[in-house]
C-alpha cells in the first residue's frame, strides 16, 4: 500500500536536485529549500535511496524528472518503462512530472544520451501521440523540456520553440523551460536565445531549470557543453532575468550532476535564484510608482534615468542581470551553425 504524503504543491521558488552525496546531510539538517527534484529512473526499484526519499518527501515538495522515456521514438513508448514511471508517481505523489523532447531508443537499442529531433510535422505527430499516451497513463499534465543542442537538422521545417508551442496546442502538456539549454543551443547554433523564449506559450511554462555548462574550443570554434558541472554562469542568470520579467516566477531548479559540490554551495545557488526573483518582482511592482510620482524636492537637479537603474532592482543583482547573454554567440568563431542531414 502506498504511503500517504502531505499535500505539498511545488512552489514558485527555487529547489535543488537531490544527489546521493547530499542525502544524509539533507535528512539530518533539513535545510531550507523550496523543493526537491529527482530523476525517476533512480527510484524505480527498492533501495536505501528510495527509503531516504520517502523520508524527505515528508518535508519537501517533489518534482519527478524522467530521462529515459524517449518521447521521440517512432516505435512508441516502452510500456514497461512507462509503468515503472507510473509506479514512481504513485509512490511519491510528486507535484510536478517532466520529460525531455528527445529520443534515446531505436530498434531495441538504448542510447545513454538525449538526442535531438528533426522538427517537422511527422516528428510532431509522433511526439504528440507519445505525450498523449504518457499523460493518459499518468492521469496528469506532464511538462516537456527543451534540449541543449550541438547540431541542427537541415530539413527541419520549424524551430524547436515552434515545435514545443504546437505540442502544447495538440496535447495540453506543459513546458519545462531549461534556460541553460536555451543558452547553450543558441550559442552553438547561432540563434537569438530571447526570441526562442518569447516564442514559447508563457502560460504553459510550469518549471524552469538552471545549470552551468562547459566552454570548449574545438578546431577553432567555441562549443558549449551542457555538463551541469559548475555554478550557473552570469549569462544564464541574465537570461533567467529575462524570463522572470516576461512570465514571472516559476518553480526553478538548480541542476548540478557532475563535480557535485558541497550541499551548501547548491543551496546558495538556489538562494540566489530566489533573490533574483524577489528583486525582479520588486522591480515590476515599484518601477511604475517611481515613474508616475516625481519627487518635487529634486526639481532642476539632473537625476539618473530610472530606466538606467535596472528599474529599482537590488544593485548587485541588477548589475548581473544586465550582462549580455549572447557574449559567446557574438564571437565570430561561433557563428557557424552545425547541420546534420
| 172 vs 134: CA distance, rounded Å | 12
Answer whether 69's CB lies under 8 Å from 77's CB. yes
Residue 320 confidence (pLDDT):
52
Residues of the chain with pLDDT under 70: 1, 287-341
- Predicted confidence at residue 335, as pLDDT, reads 37
Q: Which residues of 160-170 are buried (b: 16+ CB within 10 A; e: fewer)?
A: bbbbbbbbbee
Give the predicted TM-score (pTM) of the model. 0.85
pLDDT at 220: 85
**Can you give the pLDDT at residue 287?**
59
Contact between 143 and 95 (Cβ < 8 Å) = no
Q: Can you read off the three cell numbers belonging to residue 48?
A: 536505501
Place of cell 534615468: 305
How many C-beta atoms lie closer than 10 Å to residue 332's C-beta? 6
H/E run at residue 68: none
Q: What is the per-residue pLDDT across 3-40, written as a single tens digit (0 to 9) for each?
A: 889 889 999 999 999 999 999 999 999 999 999 999 99
Q: CA-to-CA distance for 16 and 1, rounded, in angstroms? A: 28
Condensed to tens digits (0 to 9), the pLDDT of residues 72-81 reads: 999 999 999 9
Place of cell 511592482: 285
Q: Kindly state the cell numbers that stand for 248.
A: 514571472
Amino acid at each position: 500500500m502506498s504511503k500517504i504524503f502531505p499535500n505539498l504543491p511545488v512552489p514558485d521558488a527555487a529547489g535543488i536536485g537531490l544527489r546521493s552525496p547530499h542525502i544524509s546531510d539533507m535528512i539530518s539538517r533539513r535545510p531550507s529549500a523550496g523543493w526537491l527534484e529527482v530523476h525517476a529512473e533512480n527510484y524505480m526499484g527498492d533501495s536505501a535511496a528510495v527509503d531516504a526519499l520517502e523520508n524527505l518527501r515528508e518535508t519537501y515538495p517533489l518534482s519527478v524528472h524522467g530521462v529515459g522515456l524517449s518521447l521521440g521514438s517512432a516505435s512508441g513508448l516502452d510500456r514497461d518503462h512507462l509503468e515503472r514511471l507510473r509506479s514512481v508517481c504513485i509512490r511519491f505523489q510528486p507535484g510536478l512530472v517532466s520529460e525531455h523532447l528527445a529520443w534515446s531508443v531505436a530498434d531495441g537499442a538504448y542510447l545513454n544520451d538525449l538526442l535531438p529531433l528533426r522538427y517537422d510535422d511527422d516528428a510532431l505527430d509522433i511526439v504528440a501521440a507519445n505525450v498523449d499516451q504518457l499523460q493518459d497513463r499518468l492521469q496528469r499534465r506532464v511538462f516537456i523540456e527543451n534540449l541543449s543542442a550541438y547540431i541542427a537538422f537541415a530539413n527541419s521545417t520549424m524551430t524547436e520553440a515552434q515545435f514545443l508551442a504546437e505540442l502544447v496546442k495538440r496535447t495540453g502538456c506543459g513546458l519545462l523551460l531549461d534556460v541553460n539549454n536555451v543558452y547553450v543551443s543558441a550559442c552553438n547554433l547561432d540563434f537569438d536565445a530571447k526570441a526562442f523564449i518569447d516564442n514559447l506559450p508563457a502560460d504553459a511554462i510550469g518549471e524552469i531549470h538552471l545549470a552551468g555548462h562547459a566552454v570548449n574550443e574545438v578546431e577553432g570554434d567555441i562549443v558549449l557543453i551542457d555538463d551541469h558541472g559548475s555554478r550557473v554562469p552570469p549569462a544564464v542568470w541574465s537570461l533567467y532575468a529575462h524570463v522572470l520579467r516576461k512570465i514571472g516566477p516559476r518553480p526553478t531548479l538548480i541542476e548540478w550532476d557532475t563535480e557535485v559540490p558541497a550541499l551548501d554551495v547548491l543551496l546558495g545557488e538556489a538562494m540566489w535564484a530566489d533573490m533574483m526573483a524577489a528583486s525582479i518582482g520588486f522591480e515590476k511592482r515599484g518601477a511604475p510608482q517611481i515613474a508616475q510620482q516625481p519627487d518635487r524636492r529634486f526639481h532642476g537637479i539632473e537625476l539618473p534615468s530610472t530606466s538606467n537603474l535596472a528599474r529599482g532592482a537590488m544593485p548587485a543583482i541588477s548589475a548581473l542581470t544586465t550582462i549580455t547573454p549572447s557574449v559567446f554567440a557574438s564571437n565570430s568563431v561561433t557563428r557557424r551553425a552545425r547541420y546534420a542531414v
